[in-house]
Structure formats: C-alpha cells, structure tokens
Amino acid sequence: MNLKVAQTLRKIVGEDNVLELLEDILPYTLDASIIYRGVPTCVVRPHSTEEISEIVKFANEQRIPVIPRGAGTNFVGAVVPSNGGIVIDLTGMNRIIEINPANLTCTVEAGVVHAKLESELAKYGLYWPPDPGSSDACTMGGVIAMNAGGMRALKYGTTRDWVLSLKVVLPNGEVIKTGSKTFKGNAGYDLTRLFVGSEGTLGIITEATLKLRPIPEAENRISAYFDSIEKAGAAVSKIYMAGIVPAAMELMDRGIITAVSKWLGKKFPDMDAYLIVSVDGLRSEVETLSNKVEQVLKESGASQVLRATTKEEFDEIWLIRSEGATALPNITGKMNVTHDVCVPINKLPEAFKTIREICNKYGIPVAIVSHAGDGNVHAIFSVNLQDPEESARAKKAHDEMCRYIIKIGGTISGEHGIGIDKAELLVEEVGPVVMELMRAIKRVFDPNNIMNPGKMGL
C-alpha cells in the first residue's frame, strides 16, 4: 500500500486498525458467494461514524474504492473488493444504542449481529420482524444494505418495511440522517428506502433506527405432505383465498426430504413436497386460524397434516427444514449453491416445474426450499465448484432460470440481492431506462464511483 495512504488511515483509526499484510487481509477477499474473489489494498476497522467520514473523504480525494463490509454473509459477492480498494470492516461497531419500548423502536450500530439484537429485544418482549437465515452471523448494517428478507416476509414484509431512519456517511465524507424516528414521515423523497438494499453503492450506513413489534402471544405450526410440488404451491394460494395470512409458509421438495432422510437415517413419507405453515397472534386467534389452515390443506390434497404447538413439536416438524442444507452436500458429495428468485404466488406451481426441467436439461441436481408464502424460491444447486465445466453448466442453468422468472413476471432476487452475481441480469429485468436512472442516482451520490464499484452493475 502506498505509504501516504497507510499513514493517513493509521492516523484516523490507529495503528492496530489498519490491516495490510496478506495474512491479515486474505479472509476479507471473499464472502458467502465463495466464487467471487478480490484482494483489497487494505482493511480498516473504524469504531465511530466520524472515523468513517474521515476515511471516506480521504478515499474520495484519492479516488480509492471503498467497500463497506459487515459479516460477509451475502451470497452474491456484494462485499468482494473486486477492484481492490479499502475494505471498511464495520463489525467492531457493535453497540445497541437504545431500545425504546415506549416508542417501539431501537437504534443500533451497523456491526450489531442480528441474533444478538433479537435476544436483547426479547428481554423487553419485543422483536424486529425480518428474520434472515443468516441471523446468527449477519450484521444489521449488512441486513439493511442488502434488504434482507426471511421467512416472515409474507406477513411482515422485508427489511425495507422496518427501518425508520439511518445515519449514513456519503462518499464525500458528509454525514447525513435519513427519515426520522417516527412511524410516519412524509418529508420529501424517501431516502431511507433508497439506502435500504443499495448494497453499499451510495454510502455507508453506520447507524439505524428500527421499528419494533411485541412478540406475538402464540404461534402454531402445521405441516403437510403433498404428492406433487405443484399441488403444494397451489395450496399456498388457496390459504390466502380462504382469508388467512400466516406468519410463514415454508416449502421443501423431494430433494430435501430424501437428503434429510438419508442423512439422519430417518424415514419420511415418500412424497414430492413438504409444507410448513406458521400462524401467529393471540392464542385464541391462532387456534381458529390453525383449524382453517388444516382444512384448506386437506382440501388441497395434503396428507399427514400435523399441528405443532410446543417447542419440542416445532423442532420435530421443522427437522426437514433445519437439516436440509446440512444433509444435501453430505449426501450428494457436492457443494450447495443457493439461488434466489421470486415469483407471483399463483405462478409457484409452474415455476417449481420449470426450474426442475431447466436443471434437468443441464444435468445439475437441484433441491428446492421456498418461502412459498411470498413466492420466494431458493433453488439449491449441487455443484462441484472445483470442476470448471460443471460450474459453467450450473451458471447456464442459473441464467436460464432467471430469464424464465423475468418472463413470468417474477424477479431475479427476492432477498439475496444483486452484487456481482446478478449484475448482468439486472438490466434484463429492469430494462435500459430504469438501469440508466439507477446509474444517474448513483452519480448524484457518488460522482467518482468510489462506493463499492462494480456491484449492481454500477
């Protein structure tokens, strides 16, 4: 690293918080996408918004790329320093600044781990509804920058619906506050919602005020098997048409059921799909809803409908869901490559069928886990990433799947984001005019294109 850069950064954050030796920075060359790599010029570990402001201001003057990073748990290469530059590791900024039960809000620093926040909020009987699968590891800054979703999105929405206000360092070093700590806000353009999901391309989120909810009094889970995944997909729409909005509807296909069965040495019914419906609310309401859900499932052709009301019963019916990702690679001997698309709910049956056909055509084994209630489909490809030919085939299958999803009115990303992985496909979905608008927005905030360049096709 250039001596002047090193000296300046050390002056800002202190000697120990600038990492530049290969032994220190190699772990920052990748994220959970695994396939994308890039070596940063250095890694900086700031501990305040003011320090970040100084770093970014300096980087902007020097035209050095800046890559904000949380726990690096995203699947799309969003924090890979593909053009080198300064990685700003925000995990050291991990204070929960305030939990305010009277206002139903909390304010956190970017490096707070989602699960840690969840456990602290639970002490007040509160929770923040978005529940990304990476909860144990991911940081709130990353959750917000990637607009993470989760299982409860069908009833509660995604991150974007639960952020009230942000503190952001702009690429010129200026610090701004977007939105307000109020539940309503109508003061001009909604910059908060713009920054949520901006993947670090517009500025660095250092603090966030979040909207909270009391933890529901009760939750029941109902599980059911189907002899075809299309029937299971159709059952999801029928539940809505019966006037029920569950908290979650999770669907696993035969690939997952078989892998878990082999992995755990446990016999499950020989069926094509397994659906778990979760309903929450007041105890009395949950019982009524559960009865209705069971009835709709049976009318939709489900068999072996079971209701779980205790933690032990939850764990039992959740086994296929919780063990799926572990079981697959151990059974297939290949790695899980998890993809993320989203379709209108009534297109789920068709989407399941077509995704299987596409993967079959390319000879790529696929298993499906779907947050079916919001149309979000995770197609898990089993791929030997060491084999370039197989990897290329998997990429072709992925791209064809995404193009098909766009064609049926879906989107190439329900919750994982764009990053490097889907940058080329983004323009196919949004079209050249919208893409140019996005580029124009980026230029307003970041004329020198220092903020996480190369992500989202920007």
Partner 1 sequence: MKDKNFNTLIKKLQFCEHCGFCRSVCPFLEASNMEESVGPRGRKTLFLSLFENKVQPTPRLAQKFYMCGVCRACAVKCPQGIDISEVSVHARHKIIKASALNPFMKKVADSLVKEVKNGDIFGAAATKAKWAENINMSNNSDTVFFASCMDTSMAYGELLVDVLEKFGWAENTLMSLSGLAQKPGINMLFDKFLARKSDFYRKSLVNTVKLLNKLNVRFSYLGSEEPCCGAALHTYGLLDEFAEHAKNVYKIFKEKGVRRLIVHNPICGGVFKAEYPSYVDGWDIEVKHVIEVVAEAIENNGINLRLPEPAKVVFHDPCYLARFMDVVNEPRVVLKAIENLELIEPPNSKRETKCCGGGGVELIYRDVATRAAVNRVSELNAGNPDIISSCCPVCALMIKKGIKNLKLNVKYIDIVDLVTDSLSMT
Q: Which residues in this chain contact partner 1 in the complex, by CB under 8 A?
A: 19, 21-32, 34, 45, 71-73, 89, 91-92, 94, 111, 113, 115, 134, 136-138, 325-326, 329-330, 335-336, 338, 386
Q: Tell me if residue 150 falls in helix, strand or coil.
A: strand
Helix (H) / strand (E) containing 211: strand 204-211
Q: From edge to edge, which strands make up the β-sheet containing 273-281?
A: 303-308, 218-226, 273-281, 248-253, 366-371, 376-383, 335-342
CB of 26 to partner 1, least distance (A): 5
What letter represents residue 110's amino acid? Answer: A
Nearer to partner 1, 47 or 395 (CB): 47
- CB distance 261 to 268 below 8 Å: yes
Distances (CA, A) of 384 to 42, 263, 334, 359, 402: 31, 19, 5, 15, 21
Nearer to partner 1, 67 or 232 (CB): 67
Nearer to partner 1, 23 or 389 (CB): 23
CB of 214 to partner 1, least distance (A): 23
* Alpha-carbon gap, residue 71 to 298, rounded angstroms: 43
CB of 139 to partner 1, least distance (A): 9
CB of 188 to partner 1, least distance (A): 36
Nearer to partner 1, 111 or 130 (CB): 111
Nearer to partner 1, 335 or 427 (CB): 335
CB of 66 to partner 1, least distance (A): 17
Helix (H) / strand (E) containing 178: strand 175-179
Nearer to partner 1, 258 or 332 (CB): 332
In this structure, which long-range contacts are made by residues 258-262, counting pairs with CB atoms below 8 Å and at least 24 apart in sequence? 258/331, 259/324, 259/327, 259/328, 259/330, 259/331, 259/332, 259/367, 260/319, 260/320, 260/323, 260/324, 260/327, 262/327, 262/331
Nearer to partner 1, 301 or 365 (CB): 365
Nearer to partner 1, 24 or 424 (CB): 24
Distances (CA, A) of 252 to 114, 249, 318, 319, 386: 25, 10, 11, 11, 27
CB of 43 to partner 1, least distance (A): 8
Residue 433: CB partners within 8 Å, gap ≥ 6?
none
Helix (H) / strand (E) containing 223: strand 218-226
CB of 389 to partner 1, least distance (A): 17
Q: Tell me if residue 218 falls in helix, strand or coil.
A: strand
* Alpha-carbon gap, residue 387 to 391, rounded angstroms: 6
Nearer to partner 1, 96 or 441 (CB): 96
CB of 120 to partner 1, least distance (A): 12
CB of 423 to partner 1, least distance (A): 20
Q: How far is CA 340 from the centre of its chain?
A: 9
